[in-house]
Each structure stands twice: as C-alpha cells, then as structure tokens.
Amino acid sequence: MSIPKLPLAVDHIPDAKRHVYEQEPILSGRGLGIMFGRVVGLDGVDIDLYPGEVLAVIGDNGAGKSTLIKCLTGAYLPTSGEIYMEGRKVDFKRPQDAREAGIETVYQQLAVIPALDISSNLYLAREERRPGPLGSVLRMLDKKGMATRAGEAVTRLGIQTIQNMGQAVETLSGGQRQAVAVARAAAFGSKVVVLDEPTAALGVKESGMVLDMIKQLRDNGLGVILISHNMPHVWEAADRIHIQRLGGCAGVITPQSHDMGEGVAIMTGAKKLVAEAPA
C-alpha cells in the first residue's frame, strides 16, 4: 500500500459490501488540480475508487465532474496531483495510456466518429486483423469478425433498435449513439469503467438497461464511476457518492447515509456535510 486510503463513509456501508472497502482502491487521485487559463477547473481533488463498487459523482453544471474524470483517464493532463492505479503511481499522457491500463471511458461528448460505422467505432484504435499473412503482412482488418462481436456487444446491452453494424453512427439517434459509446466501454473495460452522463439522451427503458449493465460490471469486480444528474438513478445504483462542488470535493456520502434531498443540498451548497470521523 503506497498511499493512505481516504476516509470512507464506512459506518453507512452495508455489512455485505464492507469487504469491498477492505481492498486496495483500484484507481485513486490525490490533490488533482487543473487550470484553464485563469479558470480553476479542479482545485486539489482526492478520490478513491474501489474494485466492485459504483462511485457516483454528482454536482452542479460546471462543478468539475467531467474535468475530474478527464484528468483520471488521460484526456487532460492535471497541472498538479497524482494518479494511482492499484496503489502504483501512473502517468497517463494520452487517453490510450489509461485505456491500456484497463480504464474505459464514455465521455460526455461520447467521442464517437459520426462518419464511421458502429463496428469501426467500437473497435477504433484496437482494430483486429485477419489471421495469417493477410493480417500480419497486409495488415488487413478482420471486418467481419469485428462486426459480429460488435453486434454481440450491442445486443448484450439490450438495444434492439440497432441492427446493422455497418450503419454510420451519424445516421443514429442521440440515444442510439449513446448506447454505442456505452457498449464500447462495457465490452472493453477490464478494470475500470467511467461513464459521464451515460443516460442523458436515453429513454426510461434504455436507461434501465444501462443501469443494469453498470451493476453487472460492478458485480464482475470492476470499479465504476458514474456521473449523472438523475438522482433516482444515482441513489439506486451507487455504493458511494462523491459530491463535486466549485472544482472541489464537498464530501462523499452513501445512499444510506443521506437521502436525495440532503445530497442535492450539499451539492448546491445549501447545506454543509458534517465531516465523519475516519473509520
């Protein structure tokens, strides 16, 4: 253990989940800070994510939620602070560094390429080649194989309206695009999956499927960070809730320790979190 764990709201963690928090965090940030010119994006944020938990991040617009996860996943280079994975310091210079470490991210702007088809998007920057010399010498892509597996990934998510993996993403609805981005993260995340408002464009039923998928990933032992404005979703799916406010962390609560109203009050600054004694 190379860095001390952050204090947990552990009194309010159900006994059945306590073992999760006895492990080492899978992803940690310490003192993460970033400036955008003279605007403070993040102001020394600490965060721990445990394998097998859903950590929700809530906060007002502009509170720094997206910035926080971009710093954790190599999309932004934080100007201060450190990132640890499984206790070891890591240095993500580019998104693919985080990806190679097992972190998959659904960014708020989705990061899909409209002109490419669904299968190309799912496999972008991790293309699979044909077996034999066609792949090794001519570097030919295994388009068929990728399309088949892309279809399985999308079906696993339960999105039936997407049928043709050769369809360009720009011909999809907003919700379908979101489903493609989520399917990509779910299919390839091996340690951590980060979702920035993954249900914003989804209907009731699709949102339910994404929440089910999130729980599934957690039950498989992955750490999941979920950013959402939908408080019922957060209180349903999260094990702990990191409240982001004005670029800093206003505290970490659990669905058991605080109800939605209290959570929102802390988020908006109407109420201060009474610090709990570290366990």
Partner 1 sequence: MTTSTSDAAAQFAGRQQSPVQRIQHLLHQFPWISPLLILLISFAVFTGLNPRFLTANSIGLLLQQTAIVAALAVGQTLVILTAGIDLSVGAIMVLSMMVMATLAKDGGMPGIIALIVGVALATGAGLLNGLLVTRINLPPFIVTLGTLSIFTAIALLYSGGSSIQESHLPGLINFLGDGFGIGKLRLTWGVILVVLMYAVVGFVLSQTAWGRYVYAVGDDPESARLSGVPSRRVLLQVYTVAGFIYGLAAWALIGRSGAATPNAIPDANLQSITAVVIGGTSLFGGRGRLIGTLIGAVIVQAFAFGLSLAGVNQQWRVLATGILVIVAVAIDQWIRKVKA
Ligand X SMILES: Nc1ncnc2c1ncn2[C@@H]1O[C@H](COP(=O)(O)OP(=O)(O)O)[C@@H](O)[C@H]1O
- Site residues (CB under 6 A) for ligand X? 36, 39, 41, 59, 61-67
Handedness of CA 156, 161, 164, 170 (dihedral sign): negative
Kindly state the smallest distance separating residue 245's Cβ from partner 1, in Å: 26
Question: What tokens were used for 116?
Answer: 């490419």
User: Distance of CA 190 to CAs 22, 118, 165, 194, 257, Å?
Assistant: 21, 21, 23, 11, 30
Q: Which is nearer to partner 1, 11 or 128 (CB)?
A: 128
User: Contacting partner 1 (CB under 8 A), which of 18, 139, 144, 272?
Assistant: 139
Name the residue nearer to partner 1 (CB basis): 97 or 276: 97
Question: HSE of 190 in the Cβ direction (CA atoms, 13 Å)?
Answer: 6
End-to-end CA distance of the chain: 17
Instruction: Indicate the DSSP class of residue 66.
Output: H
Q: In the complex with Mg ion, which residue's Cβ is closer, 30 or 70?
A: 70
Q: Do 60 and 268 meet the contact criterion of CB atoms below 8 Å apart?
A: yes
70-99 residues near partner 1, rule: CB under 8 A: 75, 94-96, 99
Contacts of partner 1 in 140-199 (CB under 8 A): 140-141, 158-161, 167-168, 170-176
Q: Is 75 exposed, middle or buried (0-12, 13-18, 19+ CB in 10 A)?
A: middle
Find the shortest distance in angstroms from Cβ 43 to ligand X.
10
99 binds, among Mg ion, ligand X, partner 1, none (CB under 5 to 8 A by kind): partner 1
Applying CB under 8 A, among 62, 132, 138, 261 the residue interacting with partner 1 is 138
Residue 36 interacting entry, from ligand X, Mg ion, partner 1, none, C-beta within 5 to 8 Å by type: ligand X
Give the whole-angstrom CA distance, residue 249 versus residue 195.
18
Could you say which of partner 1, Mg ion, ligand X, none residue 67 binds, taking C-beta under 5 to 8 angstroms by partner kind? ligand X
CB burial of residue 178 (10 Å; 0-12, 13-18, 19+): buried
Instruction: Work out what residue 138 binds among Mg ion, partner 1, ligand X, none; the CB cut-off runs from 5 to 8 Å by kind.
Output: partner 1
Nearer to ligand X, 64 or 78 (CB): 64
We find the least distance from the C-beta atom of residue 214 to Mg ion, in angstroms, to be: 18
Q: How far is CA 216 from the centre of its chain?
A: 14
**Number of alpha helices (DSSP H) and beta strands (DSSP E) in the chain:** 10, 10
Binding residues for partner 1 (CB under 8 A): 75, 94-96, 99, 105, 107, 109-116, 120-121, 124-127, 129, 138-141, 158-161, 167-168, 170-176, 201-206
